[in-house]
Amino acid sequence: MIDLHALVRENIKNLKPYLSARDEFQGQADIFLDANENALGSTIDASLNRYPDPRQRKLKNRIGKIKNIASGKIFLGNGSDEVIDLLIRAFCEPARDKIMIMPPTYGMYQVCADINNVEVLKVALTRDFKIDFKNVFDQIDEFLRLIFICSPNNPTGNLMDRSDIESILQKTKGLVVVDEAYIDFASQESLISNLSDYPNLIIMQTLSKAWGLASLRLGMAFADPFLSNVLTNIKPPYNVNGMTQKLVLQALQDTRRQKQMVQEIIDQREFLELELKCIPFVEKIHPSDANFLLVRFTDAPAIFRHLMSSGIIVRDRSKAFNCENCLRITVGTQQENFKLIDTLKTWK
């Protein structure tokens, strides 16, 4: 059995969290003179003068309904990037504990660990971008607190095998963070339904991709209520701002439009795949369960510059581990994708 309590840093366990005015008062009142706000309003919309709900109750209820999960298991952050940072700060003692990442993968795990002076163990994905779980097992010890698994993975686009993730969950005494930023584009379900089987499982999702709300900054973590409570205790009190809470509640009502957009992006991804296959200097299109394609060219830097000179920016991932000559191309609108293909065809 995993002792979640034992995984929390000592200083965090002993922390007396900041209690905001809006945390302490939860009843009904007409006159709010408790938070030193500007009672007159603001220079624009009057409702902006009040601090937002620090516990984001309405938002969590709504997300809980959509994801079919109890709101006590939900933590919301100022983007997933804040969630990553809080996870490392809550569970990794600097200069002692470690996290594990599986390159090539999302860059923020390493950056957040570096900022917090937490060692990063790198266990590279295999050549076909699967988890090298034998190597993962070899590196597991009592100081390995967080294992980050990105699925579908950025920048490779593939899902990780569920059975590999589950065997790691069973083997480690630490926490396993599965970053599902792209899960809505994938051919497999989220691991959310496995949360009750694995108390050490933390799932991250975001509204930045499939919901089209990158500007609002809303990241989600789903985990055992004990874990989500630890994160709540250490977060900045008003980490999800009032406009974000309000607009997200509005946006989440239109699940039909969200599904339409996801389908259109998947269709466009398939179109791009077909077109790219016919281009002679495309060497490989990695199979994608996300909203982007990792494509290997004969000469990625030259193609990158060629696209750039036509005003098309893609992400050069050729320096990432096992991604020589690869560019990561986000699926755009139909028109943008036509333009991309046309521009590629004019190279040389």
Ligand X SMILES: *Cc1c(COP(=O)(O)O)cnc(C)c1O
Residues that bind ligand X (CB under 6 A): 79-81, 106, 150, 154, 179, 181, 206, 208-209, 214, 219
Over 175-205, what HEC string results? EEEEECCCHHHCCCCCHHHHCCCCCCEEEEE
How many other CB atoms sit within 10 Å of the CB of residue 244?
Answer: 22
Q: Which is nearer to ligand X, 168 or 220 (CB)?
A: 220
What's the half-sphere exposure (Cβ side, CA atoms, 13 Å) at 114? 6
Q: Which is nearer to ligand X, 80 or 200 (CB)?
A: 80
Which residues are CB-neighbours of 1 under 8 A, at least 6 positions away? none
Q: At its nearest, how many Å lie between ligand X and the CB of residue 319?
A: 17
Q: Which is nearer to ligand X, 9 or 56 (CB)?
A: 56
Q: By beta-carbon distance, which residue lies closest to ligand X? A: 79
Q: At its nearest, how many Å lie between ligand X and the CB of residue 102?
A: 12
Q: At its nearest, how many Å lie between ligand X and the CB of residue 298?
A: 27
Helices and strands (DSSP H and E) totals, the chain: 13, 11
Among the listed residues 141, 143, 121, the one whose alpha carbon sits nearest the alpha carbon of residue 132? 121
Q: At its nearest, how many Å lie between ligand X and the CB of residue 85?
A: 10
Q: Which is nearer to ligand X, 104 or 219 (CB)?
A: 219
Sign of CA dihedral 188, 289, 154, 324: positive
Q: Which is nearer to ligand X, 144 or 149 (CB)?
A: 149
Q: At its nearest, how many Å lie between ligand X and the CB of residue 1?
A: 30
